[in-house]
């Protein structure tokens, strides 16, 4: 409470923003952090995070917060205690990609919090009609820190937005993030979400098609070891006809790591002509690793093409035998197959510097050194 007051007084902000923060803080005080008894948080216990005393990240910008109010107002801050807290302490920034503009260079946002501190970035991204751009949202805290992030994205009519979200915080960090997307007529949203870091992380995704002809990819990879825990909850909401969604999430779990994937695809009554594909494949490399996967399709219209599936398993024996017959020792062959499994997602990334960085991170996770360099 005191921390919040200090935070408010240290800032010279307009009344409406102040009020927004105060209201959100009141919501947080009322609801607290999510508890495991709530169905949505059944497998993810945030107690370890609550017991700690976090300082709000220093060195906040003194420039006035850049808020797109129209967009911020539709944010569901009351979704849970984290989102309420994010609105209360939010460091707001707006990115507007002008109508019919093609931005060739990726637009990057990097966030890192220092030891013992919490950061609350809140990005508002509007890709105006007919624009095309790539954004990179990356979280790179190297210490025991707490990130509570939100990004709201509007893809307007016929805009095309590629979104890479990379979370590779330290293995001591805590991470909560929410991604809210709305896609307009003929809009294309293509995202790849990589989760490698944090002791405990949760990513909520909510994508809504607002008009016909939209297409979205919501793909991701979680690769965990030690006692890491990562939870992804996503909702892809087909509220209108003739939209296409693809979701391909993969997981690689070692040691006693644990992952949760809960992906809901909702096809509303009038959403005829929907094409929705969803897949979640998991590779368990140790007996103690565990994944709880729950792909869900809720369809209220007959004229749709939908498929979903989830697998949890070990490496394919036939693939392993094939590599052995080419002279690769078993340990190397297993690691190469694991690498390949993860690469299917990493290979989607169209920016070389990010891709090679993630390649290295994936290789680093494997317990044998693989000498793979691309030419």
- The reply on whether position 321 binds other proteins by CB under 8 A is yes
Give the interface segment with other proteins, choosing from 1-9, 69-77, 94-102, 364-372 (CB under 8 A). Answer: 364-372
Per-residue CA distances from 41 to 19, 45, 47, 160 (Å): 29, 7, 12, 33
Give the interface segment with other proteins, choosing from 137-145, 152-160, 272-280, 314-322 (CB under 8 A). Answer: 314-322
Q: What angle do CA 192, 124, 215 make, to 5 degrees?
A: 45
| 355 phi, psi to nearest 5 deg | -65, -45
- The residues with which 108 forms a beta bridge, in sequence order, are 136
Q: Shortest approach of other proteins to residue 139 CB, angstroms?
A: 24
Record the tokens describing residue 171, joined without a space. Answer: 């293995």
Among 136, 207, 323, 366, which residue sits at the site for other proteins (rule: CB under 8 A)? 323
**CB of 143 or CB of 324, closer to other proteins:** 324
- The reply on whether position 319 binds other proteins by CB under 8 A is yes
- The reply on whether position 325 binds other proteins by CB under 8 A is yes
Q: Shortest approach of other proteins to residue 333 CB, angstroms?
A: 7
Among 347, 353, 364, 367, which residue sits at the site for other proteins (rule: CB under 8 A)? 347
Q: Are 110 and 77 in contact (CB under 8 A)?
A: no
Give the interface segment with other proteins, choosing from 15-23, 195-203, 259-267, 316-324 (CB under 8 A). Answer: 316-324
Q: Shortest approach of other proteins to residue 371 CB, angstroms?
A: 7
Among 130, 267, 339, 365, which residue sits at the site for other proteins (rule: CB under 8 A)? 339
**CB of 1 or CB of 375, closer to other proteins:** 375
Q: Shortest approach of other proteins to residue 339 CB, angstroms?
A: 7
Of residues 133 through 192, those in contact with other proteins by CB under 8 A are: none
- The reply on whether position 361 binds other proteins by CB under 8 A is no
- The reply on whether position 317 binds other proteins by CB under 8 A is yes
Number of residues that this document lists for the chain? 375
Q: Shortest approach of other proteins to residue 375 CB, angstroms?
A: 5
Per-residue CA distances from 205 to 64, 156, 193, 261 (Å): 28, 18, 10, 11
């Amino acid at each position: 409470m005191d921390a919040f007051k200090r935070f408010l007084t240290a800032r010279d902000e307009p009344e409406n923003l102040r009020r927004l923060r105060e209201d959100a803080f009141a919501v947080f005080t009322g609801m607290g952090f999510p508890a495991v008894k709530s169905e949505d948080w059944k497998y993810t216990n945030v107690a370890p995070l609550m017991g700690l005393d976090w300082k709000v990240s220093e060195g906040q910008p003194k420039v006035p917060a850049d808020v797109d109010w129209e967009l911020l107002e539709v944010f569901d801050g009351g979704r849970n205690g984290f989102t309420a807290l994010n609105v209360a302490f939010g460091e707001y920034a707006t990115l507007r990609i002008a109508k019919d503009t093609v931005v060739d260079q990726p637009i990057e946002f990097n966030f890192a919090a220092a030891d013992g501190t919490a950061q609350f970035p809140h990005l508002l991204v509007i890709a105006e009609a007919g624009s095309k751009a790539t954004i990179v949202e990356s979280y790179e805290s190297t210490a025991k820190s707490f990130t509570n992030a939100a990004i709201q994205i509007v893809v307007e009519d016929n805009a095309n937005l590629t979104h890479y979200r990379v979370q590779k915080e330290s293995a001591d960090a805590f991470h909560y993030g929410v991604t809210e997307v709305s896609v307009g007529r003929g809009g294309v949203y293509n995202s790849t979400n990589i989760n490698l870091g944090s002791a405990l992380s949760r990513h909520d995704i909510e994508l809504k098609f607002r008009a016909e002809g939209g297409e979205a990819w919501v793909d991701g990879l979680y690769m965990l070891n030690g006692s890491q825990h990562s939870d992804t909850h996503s909702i892809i909401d087909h509220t209108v006809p003739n939209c296409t969604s693809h979701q391909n999430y993969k997981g690689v779990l070692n040691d006693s790591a644990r992952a949760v994937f809960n992906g809901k695809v909702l096809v509303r009554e009038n959403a005829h002509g929907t094409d929705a594909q969803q897949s979640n494949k998991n590779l368990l490399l140790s007996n103690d690793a565990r994944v709880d996967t729950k792909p869900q399709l809720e369809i209220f219209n007959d004229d749709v093409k939908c498929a979903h599936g989830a697998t949890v398993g070990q490496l394919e024996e036939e693939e392993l035998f094939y590599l052995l017959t080419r002279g690769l020792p078993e340990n190397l062959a297993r690691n190469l197959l694991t690498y390949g499994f993860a690469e299917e997602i990493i290979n989607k990334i169209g920016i070389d510097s990010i891709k090679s960085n993630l390649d290295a991170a994936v290789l680093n996770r494997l317990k044998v050194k693989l000498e793979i360099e691309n030419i």
